[in-house]
Structure 1
Amino acid sequence: MKEVKLVPFNHKNEEQIAVKFGYDDAIRVHLKKLLDIKWSNTHKTFYIKNSTENKSKIYNHLRLINCYINYSELIIKKPNISKTLNIQLPKLNEGQEKNLQKFRKWLQQKRLSENTVNTYVEVTSFFIRYSILKNTVDYSKRLIESFNYDFIVHSNKSVSYQNQCINGIKKYLEYKGLEVERFELQRPKKEKKLPVVLSVEELKRVLDQTHNLKHKTLLSLIYSAGLRIGEAINLRVKDIDSKRMLVHIKGAKGKKDRYTLLSEVFLNLLRAYYKQYKPKEYLFEGQNSEQYSSSSAQRVLKGSVEKAGLRKQVTLHTLRHSFATHLLENGTDIRYIQELLGHSSPKTTMIYTHVSETSVRKIKNPFDNL
């Protein structure tokens, strides 16, 4: 297996990825087939713009010819929390480490997602080390507020992360059997941004630019059934109920099952896809019959959006937003949309009333009377 090294470097005042390898015609010819790859006479190397999408693109492209890709220099190291706070946090002792692992198991028994468990354990570790620094085991409101400021506010972390930190600390206090009610930390409010929505015409342009049958089927399913990307790639062949014209979503967000719509037009596309690809377990399989990845799906969508000439910031979730908005514009009751999307609260679904064009079009603009 030949080694190829991916190295960050600055070229033409932009961050690039240099592709380093020993002289090899097969690699050179293969690299030239990759879209957006360029050659620098100055640096004597192939290069591509440094982005998350391009890292995955070049990695997958080189794996096709069985290369070993060394991307260690591209890995962004997490900032040292001690440096962020400009203080040196003490290490946990063996007993504290064991207690933290017990806390992890306790969280897992609560059936929280693995990402949530990892975040809660991480922030709790910092919080305990912070309390050692302050030479106290009294988890008072004042200590927690001090930690909240030093660790989150002063470090300019996101609102979402701040809320996760508060949740993590509260879960730890619950685990320790301490009074949670007496800690009234002020939660920051998230910015209320309206979702990006594609018109029917824009959506058709995007799908028309998606020529690969598997890619087109996946994007069409996400839109036609209003799915999250995780729900789409977790679908199994048996979850498609063509007799009842329903898609069975199992274990979705909040550990809930639900049914959503199966479009008749989409079903024809799905049958053509199934006939060609013959998936065994998961409806959409990647290499080696494994589950298709969300990052691959996002790259496909981005490419189709660019080819369609759209300037909107479109993600896979935009397709789900568009599904809900188009249903609302067609007169579907908001309660049915809530069920199809799997929202726990109608308040979440109500956001689509703010982006629907139907009601807005009925309003006469006062400028027209001038």
Structure 2
Amino acid sequence: MDSTKNITLKHLLIDQNKCIGLQFSSSKVLQLLVDALPNISWSREFEMHYLPNNKSNLDLIFKTFYGIAWVNGNYFFSDKIINADNPQLNLERYRNRIYRDNYKFCPEDYLLKLELKKYSDNTVRNYVSHFEAFINYYYDANLISLNEVDVRTYLQKLIQEGKSNSYVNMSVNSIKFYYEIVLGMPNRFYAIERPRKEKQLPEVLSKEEIIMVINNANNIKHKCIIGLLYSSGLRRSELLNLKITDIDSKRMVVKINNAKGNKDRISILSPSILKDLQQYYKEYRPKKYLFEGQKGGKYSATSVLKVVTSTAVKAKINKKVTPHMLRHSFATHLLENGTDIRHIQLLLGHSSTKTTEIYTHVANRSFMKIKDLLS
């Protein structure tokens, strides 16, 4: 088989009928074989040949090109699990919601596909929320009939409302997921313009402000939550997923499993935080997760946010402090202390130093060397 010859299968929707698109580079051999397929047609819109989408035609395609060309079904067979290591999700909280007048809930096939592909709980929450906002904007419309113009109109509304670029991008993702992954339709929305990613500098706290926040925590549990977010540079989801066994006091590290991108890593464990954790464990006796709710089980993301924001207010910090701001502060302070950026990259779990380099724009260390022009 000539390795340069391949046929890529694509999902197409033509006259409201699902079809199999055949995409291939110019080749007389492949063209002859394609032309010989029964019921083959040409789409000027998608610039490719296509057949009705059914099992017999799919079998025929593989049989026709066997030994002659490689049939690439990566785009066609979309049931590949995205995050195989993610825990099995229970989406009954969405299925068991009480019916509301004039409000559409996320379709069952949407929820089922999220479960099958094992998206993270955070992604599921965002996708469901954004997609329900979209389908309720077009409450009386048949979702199959909506097109690029309708999607653009909705996105324009979001922009006019002052929604952030990341919010608009998440809306696009949730809509594309339904049409392309759930319904197996063509990539109709590739032409949708996405807002440019906002290049905002991360907001950070000074070391003095961090200490003020930690010292104003209501109890030892809250103190440990804030202290770990900062001193180990954890994401909120990583903190919530920590188990008791992930605190390694012999090596003085925190083990972070299945972090963003399904990567495991380790971060540093502060000796002062270890002392606080030991006191916390004696008082609270968590069973599985390091931080648990009053009824057991994993501590909630909203609870962590409340702990951080309310403690910052109590400490009289004149900024809206979030868990992620503590992580930004961790990276910035390490850089200011002279830590190599590659080490910071590993501690944060970034795939590339390019992501970590943003902290060079907010670290004071490099600016301190600049001579005062007025002196």
User: Quick check: TM above 0.5?
Assistant: yes
* SS in structure 2 of the partner of residue 289 of structure 1: coil
Q: Which of 238, 246, 259 is 2:253 aligned to?
A: 246
Cα displacement string for residues 123-164 of structure 1 (whole angstroms, at most 9, x for unaligned residues): 66458867649xx84x65445434543x53455544333212
The equivalent residue for 1:352 is 359
Q: Which of 199, 203, 219 is 2:206 aligned to?
A: 199
Task: Determine if the alignment matches structure 1 residue 115 to structure 2 residue 115.
Answer: no
| Distance (Å, rounded) in 1 between the aligned partners of 2:155 and 2:217 | 46
The equivalent residue for 1:168 is 174
The equivalent residue for 1:362 is 369
User: Retained in 2: the 8 A contact 1:240–1:246?
Assistant: yes
* SS in structure 2 of the partner of residue 244 of structure 1: coil
User: Retained in 1: the 8 A contact 2:128–2:174?
Assistant: no
**Structure 1 residues 283 and 103: alpha-carbon distance in aligned structure 2, compared to 1, 3 A threshold:** closer
The equivalent residue for 1:259 is 266
| Distance (Å, rounded) in 2 between the aligned partners of 1:281 and 1:349 | 32
* SS in structure 2 of the partner of residue 233 of structure 1: helix
**Structure 1 residues 119 and 302: alpha-carbon distance in aligned structure 2, compared to 1, 3 A threshold:** closer
| Distance (Å, rounded) in 2 between the aligned partners of 1:154 and 1:309 | 34
- Answer 1 or 2: which has greater helix percent: 1
Residue 253 of structure 1 aligns with an amino acid whose one-letter code is K
**Structure 1 residues 132 and 248: alpha-carbon distance in aligned structure 2, compared to 1, 3 A threshold:** same
* SS in structure 2 of the partner of residue 249 of structure 1: strand
Shift of 1:324: 0.7
The equivalent residue for 2:281 is 274
Q: Which of 220, 223, 242 is 2:230 aligned to?
A: 223
Residue 169 of structure 1 aligns with an amino acid whose one-letter code is I
**Structure 1 residues 187 and 310: alpha-carbon distance in aligned structure 2, compared to 1, 3 A threshold:** same
User: Retained in 2: the 8 A contact 1:124–1:172?
Assistant: no
Residue 318 of structure 2 aligns with an amino acid whose one-letter code is R
What's the TM-score, normalizing by structure 1? 0.63
What runs of 5+ residues in structure 2 fail to find an aligned partner?
Answer: 1-99
What's the TM-score, normalizing by structure 2? 0.63
The equivalent residue for 2:312 is 305
The equivalent residue for 1:45 is none
| Distance (Å, rounded) in 2 between the aligned partners of 1:225 and 1:115 | 26
Q: Which of 321, 331, 338 is 1:331 aligned to?
A: 338
Shift of 1:252: 2.5
| Distance (Å, rounded) in 1 between the aligned partners of 2:215 and 2:150 | 57
Shift of 1:360: 0.7
Shift of 1:298: 3.4
What runs of 5+ residues in structure 1 fail to find an aligned partner?
Answer: 1-77, 82-90
Shift of 1:321: 1.1
Shift of 1:327: 1.0
Shift of 1:358: 0.1
**Structure 1 residues 142 and 303: alpha-carbon distance in aligned structure 2, compared to 1, 3 A threshold:** closer
Residue 110 of structure 1 aligns with an amino acid whose one-letter code is K
* SS in structure 1 of the partner of residue 258 of structure 2: strand
CA RMSD of aligned residues (A): 3.2
User: Retained in 1: the 8 A contact 2:240–2:299?
Assistant: yes
Residue 128 of structure 2 aligns with an amino acid whose one-letter code is N
Cα displacement string for residues 156-206 of structure 1 (whole angstroms, at most 9, x for unaligned residues): 544333212222332233234443277321111344332221222222222
The equivalent residue for 1:321 is 328
| Distance (Å, rounded) in 1 between the aligned partners of 2:110 and 2:369 | 56
Task: Determine if the alignment matches structure 1 residue 106 to structure 2 residue 116.
Answer: no
Shift of 1:110: 2.3
| Distance (Å, rounded) in 2 between the aligned partners of 1:154 and 1:311 | 29
Shift of 1:356: 0.2
Residue 280 of structure 1 aligns with an amino acid whose one-letter code is K
* SS in structure 2 of the partner of residue 248 of structure 1: strand
| Distance (Å, rounded) in 2 between the aligned partners of 1:128 and 1:312 | 38
| Distance (Å, rounded) in 1 between the aligned partners of 2:116 and 2:133 | 19
**Structure 1 residues 277 and 172: alpha-carbon distance in aligned structure 2, compared to 1, 3 A threshold:** closer
| Distance (Å, rounded) in 1 between the aligned partners of 2:219 and 2:196 | 42
